[in-house]
Amino acid sequence: MKKTLNIFSINRWYYRLSLSQKKAVWGIVFLLPWLLGFLLFFLKPLIESIYYSFNKVKVIEGGVQTEFIGWENYIRAFKIDPIFNRLVITMVISALPQVLVIIIFSIIAAILINGKYPGRSLARTIFFIPIIMGTEIASTTLVGTDLVSQELVGGRGIEAFSSRIILDVLIHTGLPTEIVGFVSGALNNIFFVLANSGVPTLIFLAGLQTISPSLYEVAKIEGASAHETFWKVTLPMLSPMILVSTVYSIIDRFFKHATMIDGIRYGMIDRIYDIAFRQANYGLGAAMATVYMLVTVFIVLIVSLLISKVVFYYD
Protein backbone atom coordinates (compact mmCIF):
# COMPACT_ATOMS: atom_id res chain seq x y z
CA MET A 1 0.00 0.00 0.00
CA LYS A 2 2.71 2.36 0.97
CA LYS A 3 4.71 1.53 -2.13
CA THR A 4 1.92 2.30 -4.60
CA LEU A 5 1.32 5.58 -2.85
CA ASN A 6 4.94 6.45 -3.40
CA ILE A 7 4.76 5.78 -7.15
CA PHE A 8 1.63 7.89 -7.40
CA SER A 9 3.30 10.75 -5.66
CA ILE A 10 6.24 10.58 -8.09
CA ASN A 11 3.76 10.53 -10.95
CA ARG A 12 1.91 13.52 -9.61
CA TRP A 13 5.14 15.35 -9.07
CA TYR A 14 6.19 14.64 -12.66
CA TYR A 15 2.89 15.77 -14.21
CA ARG A 16 2.92 19.00 -12.28
CA LEU A 17 6.13 20.09 -14.00
CA SER A 18 6.13 22.43 -16.95
CA LEU A 19 7.27 21.16 -20.35
CA SER A 20 10.75 22.64 -20.06
CA GLN A 21 11.12 21.23 -16.57
CA LYS A 22 10.08 17.79 -17.84
CA LYS A 23 12.66 18.08 -20.58
CA ALA A 24 15.28 18.99 -18.02
CA VAL A 25 14.39 15.93 -15.97
CA TRP A 26 14.73 13.70 -19.00
CA GLY A 27 17.92 15.44 -20.00
CA ILE A 28 19.47 14.65 -16.64
CA VAL A 29 18.23 11.05 -16.80
CA PHE A 30 19.88 10.61 -20.19
CA LEU A 31 23.02 12.36 -19.12
CA LEU A 32 23.46 10.64 -15.78
CA PRO A 33 25.23 7.34 -16.68
CA TRP A 34 27.83 9.10 -18.73
CA LEU A 35 28.17 11.97 -16.30
CA LEU A 36 28.89 9.63 -13.38
CA GLY A 37 31.67 7.93 -15.30
CA PHE A 38 33.00 11.25 -16.46
CA LEU A 39 33.15 12.74 -12.98
CA LEU A 40 34.78 9.65 -11.55
CA PHE A 41 37.26 8.71 -14.26
CA PHE A 42 37.99 12.04 -15.81
CA LEU A 43 37.12 15.19 -13.92
CA LYS A 44 38.37 14.01 -10.55
CA PRO A 45 41.77 12.85 -11.89
CA LEU A 46 42.01 16.07 -13.89
CA ILE A 47 41.41 18.33 -10.90
CA GLU A 48 43.69 16.23 -8.74
CA SER A 49 46.48 16.45 -11.24
CA ILE A 50 46.10 20.24 -11.43
CA TYR A 51 46.27 20.27 -7.65
CA TYR A 52 49.41 18.12 -7.74
CA SER A 53 51.06 20.61 -10.07
CA PHE A 54 51.31 23.05 -7.14
CA ASN A 55 52.79 20.41 -4.89
CA LYS A 56 55.83 18.33 -4.36
CA VAL A 57 54.44 14.85 -4.84
CA LYS A 58 55.82 11.67 -3.37
CA VAL A 59 54.21 8.37 -4.25
CA ILE A 60 54.05 6.27 -1.11
CA GLU A 61 52.36 3.01 -0.34
CA GLY A 62 48.60 3.31 -0.60
CA GLY A 63 48.52 6.83 -2.01
CA VAL A 64 50.50 10.01 -2.42
CA GLN A 65 52.10 12.51 -0.09
CA THR A 66 51.92 16.16 -1.07
CA GLU A 67 53.72 19.25 0.08
CA PHE A 68 52.51 22.62 -1.14
CA ILE A 69 55.18 24.62 -2.99
CA GLY A 70 53.16 27.18 -4.96
CA TRP A 71 54.28 28.10 -8.46
CA GLU A 72 57.68 26.48 -8.20
CA ASN A 73 56.88 23.61 -10.57
CA TYR A 74 55.72 26.04 -13.23
CA ILE A 75 58.81 28.20 -12.83
CA ARG A 76 60.97 25.09 -13.15
CA ALA A 77 59.10 23.92 -16.24
CA PHE A 78 59.85 27.16 -18.06
CA LYS A 79 63.14 28.35 -16.61
CA ILE A 80 65.14 25.27 -15.67
CA ASP A 81 63.92 22.53 -17.99
CA PRO A 82 65.93 22.97 -21.22
CA ILE A 83 63.40 21.26 -23.49
CA PHE A 84 59.92 22.13 -22.39
CA ASN A 85 59.53 25.76 -23.47
CA ARG A 86 60.95 25.01 -26.90
CA LEU A 87 58.57 22.09 -27.26
CA VAL A 88 55.61 24.33 -26.48
CA ILE A 89 56.65 27.01 -28.98
CA THR A 90 57.38 24.59 -31.83
CA MET A 91 54.14 22.78 -31.07
CA VAL A 92 52.02 25.87 -31.63
CA ILE A 93 53.96 27.13 -34.65
CA SER A 94 54.10 23.83 -36.52
CA ALA A 95 50.61 22.57 -35.77
CA LEU A 96 48.49 25.34 -37.27
CA PRO A 97 49.60 25.10 -40.93
CA GLN A 98 49.60 21.32 -40.64
CA VAL A 99 46.01 21.29 -39.42
CA LEU A 100 44.93 23.58 -42.25
CA VAL A 101 46.41 21.21 -44.85
CA ILE A 102 44.98 18.14 -43.09
CA ILE A 103 41.46 19.62 -43.03
CA ILE A 104 41.50 20.66 -46.68
CA PHE A 105 42.87 17.31 -47.73
CA SER A 106 40.32 15.36 -45.71
CA ILE A 107 37.38 17.34 -47.08
CA ILE A 108 38.57 16.53 -50.60
CA ALA A 109 39.20 12.90 -49.69
CA ALA A 110 35.78 12.53 -48.07
CA ILE A 111 33.98 14.01 -51.07
CA LEU A 112 35.91 11.77 -53.43
CA ILE A 113 35.19 8.56 -51.55
CA ASN A 114 31.56 9.53 -50.99
CA GLY A 115 30.70 9.29 -54.69
CA LYS A 116 28.78 6.35 -56.09
CA TYR A 117 31.04 4.13 -58.10
CA PRO A 118 31.97 0.46 -58.09
CA GLY A 119 34.63 -0.40 -55.55
CA ARG A 120 34.08 2.56 -53.30
CA SER A 121 34.17 0.45 -50.18
CA LEU A 122 37.64 -0.59 -51.33
CA ALA A 123 38.53 3.07 -51.77
CA ARG A 124 37.28 3.83 -48.27
CA THR A 125 39.25 0.97 -46.81
CA ILE A 126 42.39 2.25 -48.48
CA PHE A 127 41.83 5.65 -46.91
CA PHE A 128 41.27 4.02 -43.54
CA ILE A 129 44.62 2.21 -43.56
CA PRO A 130 46.65 5.12 -42.10
CA ILE A 131 44.58 5.07 -38.90
CA ILE A 132 45.56 1.48 -38.22
CA MET A 133 49.13 2.09 -39.31
CA GLY A 134 49.45 4.72 -36.61
CA THR A 135 49.06 2.14 -33.85
CA GLU A 136 52.00 1.00 -31.81
CA ILE A 137 52.56 -2.54 -33.02
CA ALA A 138 52.10 -1.83 -36.70
CA SER A 139 54.54 1.04 -36.54
CA THR A 140 57.25 -0.87 -34.70
CA THR A 141 57.22 -3.60 -37.33
CA LEU A 142 57.30 -1.15 -40.17
CA VAL A 143 59.94 1.22 -38.94
CA GLY A 144 61.94 -1.27 -36.99
CA THR A 145 62.80 -1.07 -33.33
CA ASP A 146 66.37 0.08 -33.88
CA LEU A 147 66.95 3.68 -32.91
CA VAL A 148 69.01 4.49 -35.99
CA SER A 149 66.20 4.03 -38.46
CA GLN A 150 63.78 5.86 -36.19
CA GLU A 151 66.07 8.81 -35.91
CA LEU A 152 66.89 8.75 -39.59
CA VAL A 153 63.32 9.37 -40.66
CA GLY A 154 62.12 11.10 -37.51
CA GLY A 155 58.64 9.70 -37.52
CA ARG A 156 56.37 6.78 -36.77
CA GLY A 157 54.13 4.43 -38.65
CA ILE A 158 53.24 4.89 -42.27
CA GLU A 159 55.05 8.18 -42.79
CA ALA A 160 58.32 6.96 -41.40
CA PHE A 161 58.15 3.62 -43.13
CA SER A 162 57.41 4.91 -46.59
CA SER A 163 59.96 7.68 -46.51
CA ARG A 164 62.57 5.24 -45.24
CA ILE A 165 62.11 2.92 -48.21
CA ILE A 166 62.23 5.84 -50.62
CA LEU A 167 65.28 7.21 -48.85
CA ASP A 168 67.00 3.84 -49.31
CA VAL A 169 66.20 3.81 -53.01
CA LEU A 170 67.35 7.39 -53.55
CA ILE A 171 70.64 6.91 -51.73
CA HIS A 172 71.39 3.85 -53.84
CA THR A 173 70.90 5.79 -57.06
CA GLY A 174 73.82 8.02 -56.15
CA LEU A 175 72.07 11.36 -56.38
CA PRO A 176 73.60 14.34 -54.56
CA THR A 177 72.57 14.43 -50.90
CA GLU A 178 70.86 17.83 -51.22
CA ILE A 179 68.42 16.47 -53.77
CA VAL A 180 67.82 13.32 -51.74
CA GLY A 181 67.18 15.44 -48.68
CA PHE A 182 64.77 17.72 -50.50
CA VAL A 183 62.79 14.90 -52.11
CA SER A 184 62.52 12.87 -48.95
CA GLY A 185 61.52 15.99 -47.02
CA ALA A 186 58.71 16.70 -49.48
CA LEU A 187 57.57 13.08 -49.40
CA ASN A 188 57.67 13.10 -45.64
CA ASN A 189 55.20 15.97 -45.68
CA ILE A 190 52.85 14.13 -48.03
CA PHE A 191 52.92 11.02 -45.90
CA PHE A 192 52.47 13.13 -42.85
CA VAL A 193 49.23 14.62 -44.18
CA LEU A 194 47.98 11.23 -45.33
CA ALA A 195 48.75 9.57 -42.02
CA ASN A 196 46.92 12.20 -40.01
CA SER A 197 43.80 12.73 -42.06
CA GLY A 198 42.12 9.42 -41.29
CA VAL A 199 39.72 10.41 -38.52
CA PRO A 200 38.87 13.85 -40.00
CA THR A 201 38.05 12.10 -43.27
CA LEU A 202 35.74 9.69 -41.44
CA ILE A 203 34.02 12.61 -39.70
CA PHE A 204 33.52 14.44 -42.99
CA LEU A 205 32.29 11.26 -44.65
CA ALA A 206 29.67 10.79 -41.96
CA GLY A 207 28.78 14.47 -42.31
CA LEU A 208 28.33 14.14 -46.06
CA GLN A 209 26.04 11.18 -45.60
CA THR A 210 23.62 13.12 -43.44
CA ILE A 211 23.06 15.75 -46.14
CA SER A 212 19.70 15.20 -47.77
CA PRO A 213 19.85 14.21 -51.45
CA SER A 214 16.85 16.48 -52.07
CA LEU A 215 19.10 19.50 -51.52
CA TYR A 216 21.25 18.38 -54.42
CA GLU A 217 18.15 17.73 -56.50
CA VAL A 218 16.94 21.26 -55.87
CA ALA A 219 20.35 22.65 -56.75
CA LYS A 220 20.34 20.67 -59.97
CA ILE A 221 16.83 21.83 -60.91
CA GLU A 222 17.78 25.43 -60.23
CA GLY A 223 20.68 24.95 -62.60
CA ALA A 224 23.56 25.24 -60.17
CA SER A 225 26.95 24.15 -61.46
CA ALA A 226 29.04 21.59 -59.61
CA HIS A 227 31.19 24.44 -58.38
CA GLU A 228 28.21 26.37 -57.00
CA THR A 229 26.72 23.21 -55.48
CA PHE A 230 29.90 22.62 -53.57
CA TRP A 231 30.21 26.14 -52.20
CA LYS A 232 26.50 26.78 -51.56
CA VAL A 233 25.26 23.34 -50.47
CA THR A 234 28.01 20.92 -49.50
CA LEU A 235 30.29 23.28 -47.62
CA PRO A 236 27.63 25.03 -45.49
CA MET A 237 26.09 21.67 -44.59
CA LEU A 238 29.54 20.35 -43.70
CA SER A 239 30.60 23.39 -41.71
CA PRO A 240 29.76 21.98 -38.24
CA MET A 241 31.93 19.00 -39.12
CA ILE A 242 34.74 21.36 -40.11
CA LEU A 243 34.64 22.72 -36.56
CA VAL A 244 34.70 19.21 -35.08
CA SER A 245 37.51 18.00 -37.31
CA THR A 246 39.62 21.10 -36.71
CA VAL A 247 39.32 20.78 -32.96
CA TYR A 248 40.10 17.08 -33.20
CA SER A 249 43.09 17.66 -35.49
CA ILE A 250 44.59 20.40 -33.33
CA ILE A 251 44.33 18.24 -30.23
CA ASP A 252 45.67 15.23 -32.09
CA ARG A 253 48.57 17.22 -33.52
CA PHE A 254 49.49 18.71 -30.17
CA PHE A 255 49.27 15.29 -28.60
CA LYS A 256 51.63 13.75 -31.15
CA HIS A 257 53.93 16.73 -31.32
CA ALA A 258 57.61 15.95 -31.49
CA THR A 259 60.59 17.96 -32.58
CA MET A 260 64.34 17.69 -33.00
CA ILE A 261 66.33 19.64 -30.42
CA ASP A 262 70.13 19.39 -30.60
CA GLY A 263 69.88 16.28 -32.72
CA ILE A 264 67.65 14.41 -30.30
CA ARG A 265 63.98 13.80 -30.87
CA TYR A 266 61.66 14.92 -28.10
CA GLY A 267 57.94 14.30 -28.00
CA MET A 268 55.60 16.44 -25.96
CA ILE A 269 53.81 13.57 -24.26
CA ASP A 270 56.97 11.49 -23.98
CA ARG A 271 58.66 14.38 -22.22
CA ILE A 272 55.82 14.74 -19.72
CA TYR A 273 55.77 10.99 -19.14
CA ASP A 274 59.52 10.96 -18.72
CA ILE A 275 59.53 13.74 -16.12
CA ALA A 276 56.51 12.43 -14.23
CA PHE A 277 57.33 8.75 -14.05
CA ARG A 278 60.89 7.97 -15.05
CA GLN A 279 62.40 10.92 -13.20
CA ALA A 280 59.67 10.46 -10.58
CA ASN A 281 58.89 14.17 -10.45
CA TYR A 282 55.16 13.90 -10.62
CA GLY A 283 54.45 17.48 -9.60
CA LEU A 284 56.60 18.92 -12.38
CA GLY A 285 55.01 16.56 -14.90
CA ALA A 286 51.56 17.65 -13.78
CA ALA A 287 52.59 21.30 -14.11
CA MET A 288 53.80 20.67 -17.66
CA ALA A 289 50.57 18.88 -18.51
CA THR A 290 48.58 21.81 -17.16
CA VAL A 291 50.57 24.27 -19.26
CA TYR A 292 50.08 22.00 -22.24
CA MET A 293 46.34 21.96 -21.62
CA LEU A 294 46.10 25.72 -21.18
CA VAL A 295 47.98 26.31 -24.45
CA THR A 296 45.68 23.84 -26.22
CA VAL A 297 42.58 25.44 -24.74
CA PHE A 298 43.74 28.89 -25.80
CA ILE A 299 44.50 27.84 -29.39
CA VAL A 300 41.33 25.78 -29.78
CA LEU A 301 39.27 28.61 -28.32
CA ILE A 302 40.60 31.12 -30.86
CA VAL A 303 40.28 28.76 -33.79
CA SER A 304 36.78 27.61 -32.90
CA LEU A 305 35.66 31.20 -32.35
CA LEU A 306 36.90 32.03 -35.85
CA ILE A 307 35.26 28.97 -37.40
CA SER A 308 31.96 29.20 -35.55
CA LYS A 309 31.44 32.60 -37.20
CA VAL A 310 30.90 30.78 -40.49
CA VAL A 311 29.31 27.61 -39.20
CA PHE A 312 25.80 27.07 -40.43
CA TYR A 313 23.31 25.34 -38.11
CA TYR A 314 19.81 24.22 -38.73
CA ASP A 315 17.22 26.20 -36.75
Positions 60 through 89 that interact with other proteins (CB under 8 A):
63-64
Nearer to other proteins, 262 or 315 (CB): 315
- Separation CA 95–CA 97 (nearest Å): 6
Of residues 30 through 59, those in contact with other proteins by CB under 8 A are 30-31, 33-35, 37-38, 40-46, 48-49, 52, 59
Nearer to other proteins, 107 or 276 (CB): 276
Among 69, 72, 98, 124, binds other proteins (CB under 8 A): 124
How many CA atoms, within 13 angstroms, populate the side-chain half-sphere of residue 47? 6
Nearer to other proteins, 78 or 217 (CB): 217
Of residues 192 through 231, those in contact with other proteins by CB under 8 A are 194, 199, 202-203, 205-207, 209-215, 225-226
Among 75, 190, 260, 302, binds other proteins (CB under 8 A): 190
Among 84, 91, 95, 191, binds other proteins (CB under 8 A): 191
- Separation CA 3–CA 263 (nearest Å): 73
* Min dist. Cβ of residue 262 to other proteins (A): 23
Contact status: 235 vs other proteins (CB under 8 A) = no
Contact status: 152 vs other proteins (CB under 8 A) = no
Among 6, 65, 125, 279, binds other proteins (CB under 8 A): 125
Of residues 242 through 301, those in contact with other proteins by CB under 8 A are 243-244, 247-248, 251, 254-255, 268-269, 272-273, 276-277, 282, 285-286, 288-289, 292-293, 296-297, 300
Nearer to other proteins, 207 or 258 (CB): 207
Part of the chain binding other proteins (CB under 8 A), chosen from 9-17, 19-27, 75-83, 92-100: 19-27
* Min dist. Cβ of residue 132 to other proteins (A): 5
List the one residue out of 42, 39, 77, 72 whose CA is nearest residue 54.
72
Q: Is 196 exposed, middle or buried (0-12, 13-18, 19+ CB in 10 A)?
A: buried
- Separation CA 268–CA 288 (nearest Å): 9
* Min dist. Cβ of residue 206 to other proteins (A): 4
- Separation CA 193–CA 155 (nearest Å): 13
Among 115, 174, 176, 223, binds other proteins (CB under 8 A): 115
* Min dist. Cβ of residue 2 to other proteins (A): 27
Nearer to other proteins, 262 or 280 (CB): 280
Nearer to other proteins, 5 or 305 (CB): 305
Among 103, 110, 156, 161, binds other proteins (CB under 8 A): 161
